[in-house]
Every structure is written in structure tokens, then in C-alpha cells.
Structure 1
Amino acid sequence: MEMETYLRFALALSFVLALIVAASWVMRRLGYGSAMPPRTGKARRLGVVEVAQIDVRRRLVLIRRDGVEHLVLLGINNDLVLETGIAPPADGAAADAGTSR
């Protein structure tokens, strides 16, 4: 093959990649880049406190929403809320696994 063919291929590839980058930049500017726009300067209301793997198919997740914790069991086919309205530890540190409240 001639050098002109390689050059044409490289230019076409770089043009297509530039179009993809430009389209992704435009989509992010319009707000299509993530599920929700980032919250700047505000406190976060939702977070995952801790995750414990039970077995291959199930895990326990402790979720904090507006200062209240919820214990959720996540499985492959179903999810189950085990406990809701749990007050977080008073000192802000994680409680020991062997102690009860």
C-alpha cells in the first residue's frame, strides 16, 4: 500500500475520534453526562456507610439518608429493607461490629 492510503486512514480515524470527543463534550454540557448534575457547595444527603458481603449473591448495605441510617439486604432477584430509622453513632465514628446499641 502507498503512503497516501495510510495517511488517509490516519486522518479519517483522527476525525472520527475528534467527533466522538466533541459529541461527548456537548452532551456533558447539556447535562446528559450523568444521572444527576453534580451538587456544588451543598451537603450530600445520601451515602453508603458500609457494605458487608454475605455470600456470592447477597450483601448487606448500610445507607445514610438525611442523618438516618437504613439497613438493606441486596440480592440478585430481590432487595429487602431489614431495618429503617437507625440513628447513626453519636460520636460520628463507626460502631464496633461486636457491640450492640
Structure 2
Amino acid sequence: MELTGYLQFVAALALVLALIGALTWLIKRSGVAGSLMPAATRKGEARRLGVVEVLPLDPRRKLVLVRCDDREHLLLLHQGPAPDLVVAATAAPQAVPDFDEALERAR
């Protein structure tokens, strides 16, 4: 391949990358990206769902503690034909103040 073929390839690649960059910038500027992204990844929005703890029971089963808003759900997840189970659903415990806050309140 001659030098002009390589230059043509590099120019086409640069054009495609520039078009992808311009399209990305346009989507972000138009505000369409906010409706396409999940709520957890948007700026300024708090996460409502989170995994608190995972406890493997054996290679096929595990207990997962999931927090959603002010409730915690204990799920028994396993591989196989039987469905997964919600073992318990309770109110989430209140956050424990850190040592500095407790010391300030004690004074």
C-alpha cells in the first residue's frame, strides 16, 4: 500500500472519531443523556438502592442484605430451578453517629 493509502486511512479514522466526539458532545448538551442514564449515575441524585452485605452459604446459595429507602430486605439467592426468596423485610437501622459527633453532644 502506498503512502497515500495510509494517509487516507488515518484521515478517515480521524473523521469517524471526530463525528463520534461531536455526537457525544451534542447529546450531553441537549439534555437527552439525562433521560438515558439510570438515576443512580445522574449528578446530584442520591442512590435509593444498595447492597449492604453478601454472605455466601455454599457454592450455589448466598444471603444478600439489600437496602431500599428506609427498608432492608434479606434475600436468599441461589442457582437452580427454584425461585429466589425474600427471607425478611425490616426497617433499616438508624445511622450510628461517629465518635466526634457523640463527643460533641456529650459536652
| Common fold by TM > 0.5 | yes
Larger Cα-atom Rg: 2
| TM-score normalised by length of structure 1 | 0.64
Number of equivalent positions: 92
Task: Determine which structure has the larger helix proportion and give its number.
Answer: 2
Q: Quote the RMSD (CA, aligned, Å).
A: 3.0
Q: Any runs of at least 4 consecutive aligned residues in structure 1 with deviations exceeding 6 A, and if so which?
A: none
The yes-or-no answer on 1:38 pairing with 2:42 is yes
Structure 2: segments with no counterpart, 5+ residues: 99-107
How far apart, CA to CA, are the structure 1 residues paired with 2:50 and 2:92? 14
Structure 1: segments with no counterpart, 5+ residues: 94-101
Q: Which letter maps to 1:64? A: R
The percent identity for this pair of structures is: 46
User: Residues 21-63 of structure 1, C-alpha deviation per residue, up to 9 Å, x if partnerless?
Assistant: 33334444412552236151x5433221112233444332111
| TM-score normalised by length of structure 2 | 0.61
